[in-house]
Amino acid sequence: MILDARIEQSTFFVAKLPLCNVYLQNESRFPWLVLVPRRDDVAELIDLSEVDQQQAMREMALTARVMQGLFSPDKLNVANLGNVVKQLHIHVVARFATDAAWPDPIWGKFSAPIAYSEAEAEALVKKLQAALIEVL
């Protein structure tokens, strides 16, 4: 699988699940994971085999539970948009009534992300990895 350059440049690798690679979006306003199935030339969930569709749903639920457990958000936003990046990727975002975009969608809300510091990103990736190991 070749990862779209826009995803590669805006995320940190977290983990490899059975189907998807999990990345942390480099946007410190929101705890935000991106799941990318390791399949070539897939733009839509329906482009996956039925087995892969079911696995993608399991992995979305798994990462959503991890986000719920780690961050206790007011709401989880789970979405597959693909309007900008065609490669199939699934967003799992922890949202809070106090966050900078609440209650609006986060997409297109800000002109630029607020990146994590290197230390913040490293610590959060380790925290996410540990939480994923616990549930796998």
Sketch out the chain's domains with CATH numbers: 5-135 (3.30.428.10)
Burial of 83 (0-12, 13-18, 19+ CB in 10 A): exposed
Would you give per-residue pLDDT tens digits along the chain (136 residues)? Answer: 899 999 999 999 999 999 999 999 999 999 999 999 999 999 999 999 999 999 999 999 999 999 999 999 999 999 999 999 999 999 999 999 999 999 999 998 999 999 999 999 999 999 999 999 999 8
Collapse the DSSP code of 36 into the 3-class scheme (helix H, G, I; strand E, B; otherwise coil) and give the result.
strand
pLDDT at 4: 97
Cβ-count burial 110-134 (b if 16+ within 10 Å, e if not): eeeeeebeeeebeebbebbeebbee
**Tens-digit pLDDT profile for residues 57-71:** 999 999 999 999 999
Q: Do the beta carbons of residue 90 and residue 112 sit within 8 Å? A: no
* Torsion sign across C-alpha atoms 112, 116, 117, 122: negative
